[in-house]
Chain A
Amino acid sequence: MNLFLNQITAIVWKDFVTELKTRELFSAMFIFALLVILIFIFSVNLSVVKASEVGPGILWVAFLFSGTIGLNRSFMLEQENGCLMGLMLVPADRTVIYFGKLISNFIFLSIMELFILPLFMIFFNIDILEHLLPLLFVIFLGTLGFCALGTLLSSLASNLKSRDIMLPILLYPLLVPIVIAVVRMTGQILNGEPLSGMMNWIGLTASFDIIYIGVSIMTIDHILEE
C-alpha cells in the first residue's frame, strides 16, 4: 500500500515539476476559462436574465472547457519523446499511472477553479462567500467525476489519429449527467438552499465518481498496453 502511494506521488510530483518549469498549462487553462465566461456574458443579456440563473451553467461550462485542455495535455505530453513508454516500463501497476494522472489533473483543475471563483463572484455580482462550503463540496464532487472519466478517455484518445478532437467528442456526451447534476446543485446553493435538500443529486454525482473510478481501475490495463 505504501509503495503504491509512493509511486502515485512520484507521478504527481513529476507532473508538478514539469508544470512549474514550463507554466504553460495552467495559464492556458485559466485564460481560456476566463474567455469562456466573457463570451457568455456577451451572449446573455444580464440586465434581463437573473445572474444566479445563468451563472452556474456558465461557470461549469468554463470549468469543463478549460479542464478539457488540461486533460488533452496530460497524456499528449507523455507521447512526446516516448515518455509514456517510459512510464509503462516502470515496474508498477497500470493503475498507478491512472491514479497519478487523475490526481494531478484534479489538482490542476481545482487550483484553476479556485482562481476563477472570485472572478465569477465579481462579474456576476453573486455573493458566494456565505455558501462557500457547500459550493466547494459540489465543485469537489463534480471535478472528481470529470477527472475520473476524463483521465481514462484521455489515455485512450492520446493514441488516436485526431486525438485533440476526439477527446471532447467521446467525453462530453458521457459527462451530461454530471453536468446537469452540478449545475442544478450550484444553482440551488447560490439560492441559499441547504445541501440536505439535494441528496438525490449528491447521490447521483457521488455514485458516478465511484463507478467510473472503479471502471477505470478495471479497464486501464487494456488501454495502456503495448
Chain B
Amino acid sequence: MMNPDAVEENQEEGNILVWLTGLAFLAAMVAIFIYVPTEQTEGVVQRVMYFHVPSAWLSFFAFFIVFICSILFLWKKEREWDIYAHASAEIGVIFCSLVLITGPIWARPIWGAWWVWDARLTSTLILWIIYVAYLMLRTQSDAGSMRARYAAVLGIVGFLNIPFIHFSVLWWRTFHPPPKVITNEGIGKGMDPTMLATLGISLCAFTLLYFLLMGVRVRQEKLKDEIDRLKREKLYSA
C-alpha cells in the first residue's frame, strides 16, 4: 500500500529532477551547437558524437542496472527489483536504438558506408537484439512470479555475455576509432578540452535523463500494481 505522504514526497523529488534534467539538456544544447568548435577534418557531422557517445554509455549503464536488479531479485524475491530491471531494460533498449541510428548518420559521410561489420557496431547490434528478446520474454508470460524469475535469469545470462561478445567480435575484425576519452596516455588526453567539456555536459544530461525516465516508469508500474490490487479487492470480491 502506498503512503500518500510518500507519494507527495516522490513527486517533489521528481519535480526537482525534471528541472535539473531540463537545465542540463539546455546547457548541453548550447554547448553542442554554439560553444564547441566544428571538428577540422570531419566537419559538422561530428557533432552527432555528443549524442552518440552518451546514448551508448546510457544503454550500457541501463543494462548493467538490469543485471544488478536481476541478481537482487533472485536473491530477495521482491517485486521492487523486478520493476527496476524492467524499466531499466526498456530505457536501455531505447538508447541502444538511438546509438544504432546516430551511428550510421555519423558513419556515412566519414567512412563512406552506413554500416560496416566493425567490432563495436556488431556488439551493439547483438546487445540490442538480446535486450529486445528480454522484453519479448516479458510479454510472453503472464504477470507474476514466473515472469519475474525468467526475466531475471535472462538479465543475468545476457549481461554475462557482453565480455564474450566484445572479445569475439574484436578478434573477428575492427575499424572503429579507438577510445578517445580514456587512452593509454591518461584520461582526456586524446581530445580537445572544449570537446571533452561538451561531451561531459552531454553525458551528465543523459544520465540525469536516465534517472528521470526510470522514476516515471517505476512509478507507473507501481500504480499499475496498485490498480490491480484494488480491482481484485473491490471488484471481484463483492
Q: A: which residues have CB within 8 A of B?
A: 149, 152-153, 156, 159-162, 166, 169-170, 173-174, 176-178, 180-181, 184, 200-201, 204, 207-208, 211-212, 215, 219, 222-223, 225
Contact = CB atoms under 8 A, between A and B. Distances in A.
Given A180-B172, A200-B171, A170 B146 contact: no
The 5 closest A-B CB pairs, nearest first, are A177-B164, A177-B168, A160-B140, A173-B129, A180-B168
B216 interface: no
6 contacts: A173-B126, A176-B165, A180-B172, A200-B167, A222-B153, A223-B153
Interface string B145-180: 010011011101110110011011101100000000
A215 B126 CA distance: 20
B74 interface: yes
B133 interface: yes
B150 A156 contact: yes
Interface residues of B, number: 27
Interface of B: 74, 126, 129-130, 133, 136-137, 140-141, 146, 149-150, 152-154, 156-158, 160-161, 164-165, 167-169, 171-172
A152 B157 contact: yes
Contacts of A180: 168-169, 172
Given A160-B140, A219-B74, A222-B74, A174 B158 contact: yes
A84 to B, nearest CB: 14
Contact of B130 (A160, A174, A208, A223): A174
